[in-house]
């Protein structure tokens, strides 16, 4: 079972999409843990226990960090960044990723296309 942490404030909108990807393409071999805020995971070092980390740029207003701040903390803590996928409805994330020297992180745009999501997850799993 591959573990995936998902930081997303609108679980209702995306949970079924992730469940569909798991059923249709991964034979239910993915385990998802959803976090609406950055502090729900506790210490960000806990991300080391995940095979993939998916981060929405905008999290709940009560979140201590937004998606970019989580990325920055991951980088500062030397947590592996090659297993991250960004989710966003915004078009201007590329510039910010370049600024953080994380331009290699794939971005999946909302509304999520299940084939694109599957491909990005599979690319990461193939490297492991």
How distant, in Å, are the alpha carbons of 6, 50, 62, 71 from that of 84?
10, 10, 23, 9
Number of C-beta neighbours around residue 44 at 10 A: 17
Looking up residue 11, the CATH number of its domain turns out to be 3.40.50.2300
Number of domains forming the structure of the chain: 1
Domain that holds residue 39: 2-127
Question: In this predicted structure, what is the pLDDT of residue 43?
Answer: 93
Segment 53-86, tens digit of pLDDT: 999 999 989 999 999 999 999 989 998 878 999 9
Predicted confidence pLDDT, tens digits, the chain (128 residues): 999 999 999 988 899 999 999 999 999 999 999 999 999 999 999 999 999 999 999 998 999 999 999 999 998 999 887 899 999 988 888 888 888 888 889 999 999 999 999 999 999 999 98
- Residues forming a β-bridge with 88: 109
Q: How crowded is residue 1: how many other Cβ atoms within 10 Å of its Cβ?
A: 8
């Amino acid at each position: 079972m591959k573990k995936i942490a998902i930081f997303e404030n609108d679980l209702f909108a995306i949970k079924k999409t992730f469940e569909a990807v798991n059923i249709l393409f991964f034979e239910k071999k993915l385990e998802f843990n959803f976090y609406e805020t950055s502090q729900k995971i506790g210490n960000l070092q806990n991300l080391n226990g995940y095979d993939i980390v998916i981060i929405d740029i905008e999290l709940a207003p009560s979140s201590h960090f937004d998606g970019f701040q989580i990325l920055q903390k991951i980088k500062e803590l030397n947590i592996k960044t090659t297993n991250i996928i960004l989710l966003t409805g915004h078009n201007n994330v590329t510039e910010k990723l370049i600024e953080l020297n994380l331009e290699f992180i794939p971005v999946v745009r909302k509304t999520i296309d299940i084939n694109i999501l599957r491909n990005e997850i599979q690319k990461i799993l193939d490297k492991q």
